Amino acid sequence: MTTTSTLAPSRSTAPHRLARTRSLPPPRRPVLPQLARSDDVTPADLRAGLTEGRLVRVAPGLVGVAPPAEPAWRRNEALHLLRVRATLARVTTDFWFSHETAALLWGCWVWGLGVDVHLTQLSTPPSPVRGLLPLRRHTGALPEEDRSAVDGLPVTSPTRTALDCACAMAPERALGVVDSALRAGADLPALTARADEEAGRRGIRLARRVIALADPRSDSVGESRTRWHLASAGLPSPELDIAVETFLGTRWIDLGWPDIKVGIEFDGAIKYSGGEYGDPRRRLLEEKRRHDALVEAGWILVRVTWADLAHPERLVARVRAALAAGCRRQRA
């Protein structure tokens, strides 16, 4: 088997590479849904709404409009936001939304979002809310620079949120949060310095690895997860958001190694399903034409889907083979 060292591309600047000129937008922050008091709905309408799935009980005395069942990740986010609204109504002591809840409110990519709403408080409240909401309380110091707000909601700052998630979450999940947090306003030098200062904190060693890989040019949580699998396998780090000149003009590759013209394209499939992305057939034809243009420009492309991320060993093997082919071609 080819070793990792033989796959490392050279650092020379290839003539086809372009300076990165486009900027990716900040993450889109979610809109917090509204709740209604159960007393404000007639008993008959409440029973019918809950039975038919139009309403969902969020906390005792509070109901909300039930989100669609599919896709599951969007439903989970919507239910989490309903619990955020209920937390505002039920928790009376000072707190800041933190960890993955804060990441969601900042618009970060929180793959595998949990049920619990995360709060950070300076001390344990004398009468915590028990049994009313699924809360995960964190207590401890929260300096002023770590306190912020999103649309009037108390949250930890993007930098503090990224650090907390990097320490508390599995690294495959955390990298997507940190990548998107950098686009939401987190400061990478400050984040790196904070991680270096927190020796002994639980999870800090893996957090440092995550932060070292973080890049605001990542365009999706799928790309972030792919990069984590490649790094865990010891493969050379890819560049992100690579501009390539083709017969169609400038086209962009998600991840890759420009010196040997090997690229990775993450295909989330959702962009071909219609809705906000336009006609799916047209999108599919445009993507086929784009793929052909990149191949004609000399690139070896590895296409990755969500299903591939469930089998990282297969994904790594495919990328390793593509890198080996690119290196052989370069030497020929």
| Residue 50 within any structural domain of the chain | yes
Give residue 280's pLDDT band: very low, low, confident or very high (50, 70, 90).
low
Would you say 104 and 80 are in contact if contact means Cβ atoms under 8 Å apart? yes
In terms of C-beta distances under 8 Å and separation of at least 24 residues, what long-range contacts does 194-199 make, across chains too?
194/159, 194/163, 195/163, 195/166, 198/163, 198/167
Of 191, 216, 241, the one marking the end of a domain is: 216
Q: Are residues 84 and 195 located together in one domain of the fold? A: yes
Burial grade of 209 (CB within 10 A; 0-12, 13-18, 19 or more): middle
Q: Are strands 262-266 and 300-304 parallel, antiparallel or unpaired?
A: parallel
What pLDDT, in 10s, does the model give residues 25-67?
888 999 999 999 989 999 999 999 999 999 999 999 999 999 9
> What's the pLDDT at 282?
78
| Residue 174 within any structural domain of the chain | yes
Q: Are residues 46 and 165 located together in one domain of the fold? A: yes
What pLDDT, in 10s, does the model give residues 80-89?
999 999 999 9
> What's the pLDDT at 214?
97
Q: Are residues 60 and 169 located together in one domain of the fold? A: yes
Q: Average per-residue pLDDT in the chain?
A: 88
Q: Map tokens 């399903």 to a residue.
A: 273
Higher-scoring residue by pLDDT: 136, 6: 136
The region of weakest confidence among 38-47, 151-160, 274-283, 322-331 is 274-283
What pLDDT, in 10s, does the model give residues 185-198?
999 999 999 999 99
> Does the structure show a pLDDT above 80 at 139?
yes
Coil, strand, or helix at residue 86?
A: helix
- The pTM of this model reads 0.87
| Residue 59 within any structural domain of the chain | yes
| Residue 31 within any structural domain of the chain | no
> What's the pLDDT at 256?
97
Give residue 70's pLDDT band: very low, low, confident or very high (50, 70, 90).
confident
Q: Are residues 162 and 306 located together in one domain of the fold? A: no
Determine the residue type at 271: K
Q: Are residues 50 and 186 located together in one domain of the fold? A: yes
Give residue 257's pLDDT band: very low, low, confident or very high (50, 70, 90).
very high
What pLDDT, in 10s, does the model give residues 195-218?
999 989 999 999 999 999 999 999
Q: Are residues 286 and 228 located together in one domain of the fold? A: yes
Cα–Cα distance for residue pair 234/169, rounded to 1 Å: 21
Q: Are residues 236 and 190 located together in one domain of the fold? A: no
Cα–Cα distance for residue pair 263/323, rounded to 1 Å: 9
Instruction: Give Cβ neighbours of residue 50 (< 8 Å, ≥ 6 apart).
Output: 56, 57, 63
> What's the pLDDT at 10?
37
Which residue, 313, 220, 319, is CA-closest to 264? 319
Q: Are residues 174 and 231 located together in one domain of the fold? A: no
| Number of domains comprising the chain | 2
Q: Are residues 174 and 248 located together in one domain of the fold? A: no
Q: Are residues 109 and 133 located together in one domain of the fold? A: yes
* CATH number of the domain residue 312 falls in: 3.40.960
163 to 100, 293, 329: CA distances (angstroms) = 11, 40, 41
144 to 93, 106, 156, 242: CA distances (angstroms) = 18, 18, 10, 38
Q: Are residues 135 and 207 located together in one domain of the fold? A: yes
Q: Are residues 288 and 305 located together in one domain of the fold? A: yes
The strand pairing partners of 274, in sequence order, are none
Percent of residues, the chain, with pLDDT higher than 90: 77
Of 186, 216, 246, the one marking the end of a domain is: 216
Of 185, 216, 247, the one marking the end of a domain is: 216
Q: Using omega within 30 degrees of 0 as the cis cutoff, is the peptide bond preceding 171 cis?
A: no
Cα–Cα distance for residue pair 164/100, rounded to 1 Å: 8
Structural domain harbouring 139: 36-216
Give residue 332's pLDDT band: very low, low, confident or very high (50, 70, 90).
confident
